[in-house]
């Protein structure tokens, strides 16, 4: 009888552990992104690049670099803006943004999502085209 109690207790503990791992995976939504910016704007909604994220705080981590320079490019670099939106009927929901120089990587809280959706997207832009063409990639995630 004691042997059966031990087996039942072990099965119950294993079931609870497996269920909690599944819950952690669900709670921590994550999506990868990548882009090439040749002018001043990359719009994920126009390019149909959507990400699945949960509501709540959304973090970004990534990198970017200049991969080419246009003739007549400015000697300085404009800041790069990473703005996060959720597509919805009517005006899209603005979650927030993070601003980086060419030397800084996007990192930290980019904004707050209003609900779980597979329609989050990034707009990555500069205020004006400075002639420096950028490539970047990274990850958006909830914690």
CATH number, domain with residue 92: 2.60.120.380
Please name the residues in contact with 94: beta carbons below 8 A apart, sequence gap of 6 or more: 83, 84, 85, 111
User: What pLDDT, on a 0 to 100 scale, did the predictor assign at position 118?
Assistant: 93
Instruction: Examine the pLDDT at 64 and tell me if it is beyond 60.
Output: yes
27 Cβ partners below 8 Å, 6+ apart?
54, 142
Q: Return the pLDDT at 141.
A: 95
* DSSP secondary structure string for all residues of 17-62: HHHHHHHHHHHS-EEEEEEEESSSEEETTTTT--EEE-SEEEEEEE
Task: Please compute, for residue 48, the number of CA atoms within 13 A of its CA located in the half-sphere on the CB side.
Answer: 0
Q: What share of the chain has pLDDT > 90, as a percent? A: 77
More confident residue, 23 or 129: 129
Contacts of 45 (CB under 8 A, 6+ apart): 85, 87, 92, 121, 123
Q: Please report whether residue 133 resides in a domain.
A: yes
pLDDT computed for residue 130 by the predictor: 93
pLDDT of residue 8: 53
Give the pLDDT score at 21: 43
Domain membership flag for residue 1: no
Residue 116 in any domain: the answer is: yes
pLDDT of 29 reads 83
How far is it, in rounded angstroms, from Cα 84 to Cα 111? 7
Whether the model pTM is above 0.85: no
Residues spanned by the domain of 55: 31-142
* Mean pLDDT estimate for the chain: 86
Number of domains in the chain: 1
Say if 112 falls within a structural domain.
yes
pLDDT greater than 50 at residue 111: yes
Q: How confident is the model at residue 3 (pLDDT cuts 50, 70, 90)?
A: low
Residues 29 and 52: their CA atoms lie apart, in Å, by 7
Mean pLDDT for 55-73 is: 95
């Amino acid at each position: 009888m004691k042997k059966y109690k031990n087996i039942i207790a072990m099965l119950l503990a294993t079931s609870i552990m497996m269920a909690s791992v599944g819950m952690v995976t669900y709670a921590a939504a994550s999506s990868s992104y990548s882009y090439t910016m040749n002018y001043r704007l990359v719009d994920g909604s126009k390019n149909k690049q959507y990400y699945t994220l949960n509501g709540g705080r959304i973090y970004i981590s990534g990198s970017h670099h200049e991969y080419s320079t246009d003739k007549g490019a400015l000697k300085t670099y404009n800041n790069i803006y990473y703005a996060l939106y959720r597509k919805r009927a009517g005006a899209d929901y603005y979650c927030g943004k993070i601003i980086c120089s060419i030397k800084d990587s996007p990192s930290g809280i980019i904004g707050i999502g209003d609900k779980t959706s597979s329609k989050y997207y990034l707009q990555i832009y500069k205020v004006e085209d400075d002639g420096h063409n950028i490539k970047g990639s990274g990850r958006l995630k909830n914690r």
